[in-house]
Amino acid sequence: MADSPLTYTSSPGLKEGTTVLTLTGPLTLTTMFPLQEELRSLAPQVLILDLTAVPYIDSAGLGLIPTYYVSAGRDGRTLLLAGVSPRVEAVMGHARIDTLVKTFPTVAAAEASL
């Protein structure tokens, strides 16, 4: 079964230096490469990754999160996750990503934490 495409849009957050990257579709090995390139080029002070419309994630897709987190942290930048579904949250919990990156129920909640 072929994966549905993963699309993403970037928009400025409410606070200066914040970018919200909204993902739509599954984050998997077959869909992650354009997003990986986008993450390499992004360098906002705070990146909120909105996963509200991500129905599932595999281990390859999941690997993008700690990779960006570590890279951003080295430069004093922050990664926050928002809108993580129970299914994606379960995968993240098994990989212990939930102990690394702060997760919020919505983008608004993530922005309010800043």
pLDDT at 1: 40
pLDDT at 3: 67
**Inside any domain, residue 18:** yes
Question: Domain total for the chain?
Answer: 1
pLDDT at 2: 52
Which DSSP symbol is given to 84? -
Residue stretches of the chain with pLDDT short of 50: 1
**Inside any domain, residue 56:** yes
**Inside any domain, residue 1:** no
pLDDT at 96: 92
Distance spanning both ends of the chain, measured CA to CA:
40
pLDDT at 37: 95
**Inside any domain, residue 46:** yes
**Inside any domain, residue 3:** no
pLDDT digits (tens, 9 = 90+) for 25-53: 999 999 999 999 999 999 999 999 999 99
Give the CATH number, domain containing residue 52.
3.30.750.24
pLDDT at 98: 85
**Inside any domain, residue 2:** no
**Inside any domain, residue 43:** yes
pLDDT at 30: 93
Q: Which domain holds residue 60?
A: 8-112
**Inside any domain, residue 33:** yes
pLDDT at 67: 94
* Rounded Cα distance, 8 and 5, in Å: 10
What is the rounded radius of gyration, in angstroms, for the C-alpha atoms of the chain? 13
- Tell me if 101 sits within 8 A of 80, measured CB to CB: yes
* Rounded Cα distance, 114 and 101, in Å: 14
